[in-house]
Amino acid sequence: MDTHIVVCQQSIVVTIRGSMGVEEAHALRANLLSCIRGGLSIVVIKMADLQYIDSTGLGALSAINKCALKAGGKVTLSGLNGMVARLIHLSQLDQYFDIQN
């Protein structure tokens, strides 16, 4: 997985490419939770080029969202498509995230 993180004022924009498995999910979770706890509670995750995500990745997204909401922010998932979009929908996570395509 290739991840690019940009900090813009009080928000974080993350672009994810490739596949998110166990190791990548843990790294993303740790990085973003640290940023959120540091005061950057608005998170946009661009996922247009993410081809695969497993249950650990879905769990990491949920943990990131929970932390952001607790800090008064939110997580927006953008560019969902293909299998990733189907998994987000089937797991009903689309009810908990701001989704933009």
Q: What domains can be seen in the chain, in order of their start residue?
A: 2-100 (3.30.750.24)
- Model confidence at 2: pLDDT above 90: no
pLDDT digits (tens, 9 = 90+) for 40-94: 999 999 999 999 999 999 999 999 999 999 999 999 999 999 999 999 999 999 9
Contacts of 20 (CB under 8 A, 6+ apart): 1, 28, 50, 52, 53, 54, 56, 57, 60
pLDDT digits (tens, 9 = 90+) for 27-36: 999 999 999 9
Q: What is the pTM of this model?
A: 0.93
